[in-house]
Amino acid sequence: MSKAAAPTFGQKLREARRSQGLSLVVVATRLGVSHGAVAKWEKDRARPRLKRILAIARVLRISPALLLNTSKEGSRDPVAVLRRAQERLAKAWNVPREAVMLTARRAGGNRRGDCELSVHR
């Protein structure tokens, strides 16, 4: 018996967008990107940076964890999501995990929050 493959980032993005009844153009406009960029993300031909993923989550009114996680386990724990992102970035950048600094902070206005990424060598 084989398990079904976990949905990709693009599949989760498309499902979330459609469940909100939003078109590619509307989402792209709210994010300040082209509709082609959103289409590439949905087709898994490109992947937005973490800061953009947080903006996508705000526009779609979902948790960023729902877009980032491949499993539902721990999807509601933002600290766990950031730690996994830190580990993935460290591996991709070929630096120690401790060299990737992730900082979540409260932003002004109606925005829910923002995330900053930096690498310290």
User: pLDDT for 64-79, tens place per residue?
Assistant: 878 876 554 444 566 6
Strands 114-119 and 100-105: antiparallel
Give first-to-last CA distance, the chain, whole Å.
Answer: 46
| Tokens 């992947």 sit on residue | 47
58-to-16, 32, 53, 113, 114 alpha-carbon distances in Å:
11, 13, 9, 9, 10
Give the pLDDT of residue 82.
Answer: 73
pLDDT class of 46 with cuts at 50, 70, 90? very high
pLDDT class of 29 with cuts at 50, 70, 90? very high
Tell me, yes or no, if the pTM score tops 0.75.
no
19-30 core/surface letters (b: 16 or more CB in 10 A; e: else): eeebebeebbee
Domains for the chain: give ranges and CATH numbers. Answer: 9-119 (1.10.260.40)
